[in-house]
Amino acid sequence: MVQVYVSSVIDASADTVWSRIRDFNGMPQWHPSIADSRIENGQPADRVGCIRQFHTKDGGTIRERLLALSDYEYSCSYEILESPMGVANYIATLKLTPVTDGARCFAEWSAEFECEEGRERELAETIGQGVFQGGFDALKRHFGHR
C-alpha cells in the first residue's frame, strides 16, 4: 500500500477555504489541472455516494465517489473508481484545521492506494506534488499568499 501525505498552511480561515473546496463538483474552479466536472445522475454534489466524472487538462478521465463529507470537521473523503493513472483501492481525504493564530488554516491531503510494482515512487510524486500540492498552491495564490 502506497501512502501519500501533503500539508500546507493557507492564509485564509478554514471557513473561507472550505467554502471554496467543499463542492465535490467544484474542482475546475480552484484546481489548475482540472478542465471540467459533472456529478452523475443529477445527484447533489454534497450527497455521500455521489459520483463525479471529470477531465484533467491533459485529457484524462477520472471517476470518483464521495465517501464522507463533514462541514464540522472541514473534511471530505473519496475513492477513485476509474482513472488512467493505474491505481487501485485509492482512498483520499482532504481536511482543513483552523489555525487560531490569525485567519489561517492547516490543510492536509492524503491518499492510500495500490499500484503496479515499480510505479510506487512515480505515482506518489505525481499525486503528492502534481495533484495535492498543485491544488494547495492554487488555493494559496487565490487567497493572496505568494
**CA gap 18, 74 in Å, rounded:** 6
Domains and CATH numbers, the chain: 2-142 (3.30.530.20)
The SS3 of residue 133 is: helix
The residue among 24, 20, 89, 29 whose CA lies nearest residue 50 is: 24
Per-residue pLDDT 10s for the chain (146 aa) are 999 999 999 999 999 999 999 999 999 999 999 999 999 999 999 999 999 999 999 999 999 999 999 999 999 999 999 999 999 999 999 999 999 888 899 999 999 999 999 999 999 999 999 999 999 999 999 997 54
CB atoms within 10 A of CB 8: 17
**CA gap 92, 131 in Å, rounded:** 12
Q: Please list the residues that pair with 76 across neighbouring strands.
A: 69, 94
Contact 70, 76 (CB under 8 A): yes
Contact 137, 40 (CB under 8 A): no
- Give the pLDDT score at 12: 95
- Give the pLDDT score at 102: 87
The residue among 19, 8, 7 whose CA lies nearest residue 145 is: 8
- Give the pLDDT score at 144: 78
